[in-house]
Amino acid sequence: MIYLQMFWIFFRLGLFTVGGGYAMLPLIQAEISRYGWITGEEFVDMIAIAEMTPGAIGVNTATFVGFRQGGLFGSVLATAALTLPSLIVVVLVSKVLDRFQDHPTVEAILSGIRPVVAGLIASAALFIAQAAFINPAPSGSVVFNPTAFALALVSGVAVVKFKLHPITVMLGAGVLGLFIF
């Protein structure tokens, strides 16, 4: 039953998510939270690992969730379910897009979808930022982590201003994390 449920969830995510893996992250998080498959903290760790491994972050995340829930078969199933709709849509769209890409209706639809994709990516960023910068305190309250915020800020500047490769920045942050945290 878990395999059928997993296939259906990831197939739907692959079918209805536009904008790539980052836009998909809040939807994946909502689904796996609804079923209690992975905690929010585990999800953020999973995103960090998925970001560092080769491949698309959405696909990597689906693979990790699938493995966690169903072992090797679960990881293959979740990955296939997530990517199958894209394969089908790309094949179908490529047949007709050349003919209609300059059509005003197609341009209007794409103009409406782009801001939504930006919003979904921003939602994923906010979720990750909250998990990274806000830590639960023993008293039940939450505590802002200025060290994590500073590390994120320095990382952003290193990538944007100094054009350091993101992998270099992540490896450096990992080493710093060993000493800081």
Task: List beta partners, residue 135.
Answer: 143
Residue 105 falls within a domain, yes or no?
yes
Task: Indicate if 123 and 150 belong to the same structural domain.
Answer: no
Residue pLDDT, tens place only, 89-119: 888 878 777 777 788 988 898 899 889 988 9
In a 10 Å sphere around its CB, with 0-12 CB exposed, 13-18 middle and 19+ buried, how is residue 3 labelled?
middle
Q: How much of the chain, in percent, has pLDDT values that exceed 90?
A: 37
Q: In terms of pTM, does the model score above 0.75? A: no
Residue 73 falls within a domain, yes or no?
yes
The tally of domains found in the chain comes to 2
- Write out the two tokens for 54: 């080769």
Task: Indicate if 67 and 104 belong to the same structural domain.
Answer: yes
Task: Indicate if 118 and 165 belong to the same structural domain.
Answer: no
Task: List beta partners, residue 134.
Answer: 144
> Is residue 66 pLDDT above 90, yes or no?
yes
* Rounded Cα gap, residues 146 and 135, in angstroms: 11
Mapped onto helix, strand or coil, the DSSP state of residue 165 is coil
Q: Where in the sequence is the domain holding 14, given as residue range(s)?
A: 2-134
